[in-house]
Amino acid sequence: MEPYRQFMMAIVRGSVPKPELAAIRQMPLEERYVWRAASELRRALADCDDGLNIHTDRQTLPPEELAKVKELLRFCPTQFCVFLEALVGVEEMQRMMVEAIWAAQRV
């Protein structure tokens, strides 16, 4: 994350961040922010097959614990949309989200 921090600091200082962008451009994909975020999301949701375990937890969690889980996830859909919009643009983000909602409703 150091190259990204340097980039942000250059912007805050009012500098033209050309050297910082060059450093980021040279980074391997596996060290970039988008790779880290996408990999963690994939790993986190890897066993989310048909939702059976989630349905089971929803039915067995006490209401106050279910509320804690819902609060933990409150901003995740928005954050994911911001991530996608920045990566692929508004139209592609919207297409992907609509497709995901459609698919999830059919599981």
Cβ atoms of residues 86 and 94 within 8 Å: no
Residue 34 inside a domain? The answer is: yes
Give the Å distances, CA to CA, from 73 to 23, 40, 51, 65, 86: 34, 15, 16, 13, 20
Instruction: Indicate whether 30 and 70 sit together in one domain.
Output: no
Cα–Cα distance between 94 and 70 in angstroms, integer? 23
Question: Does residue 51 sit within a domain?
Answer: no
pLDDT digit string (tens) for 50-95? 678 888 999 999 999 999 999 999 999 999 999 999 999 999 999 9
H or E stretch covering 40: helix 33-44
Q: What digits encode the pLDDT tens for the residues 4-47? A: 999 999 999 999 999 999 999 999 999 999 999 999 999 888 77
- 22 lies in which domain range? 1-46
* CA gyration radius, the chain: 19
Whole-model pTM: value is 0.79
67 and 99: one domain? yes
Name the pLDDT band for 49 (thresholds 50, 70, 90).
Answer: low
The count of domains in the chain is: 2
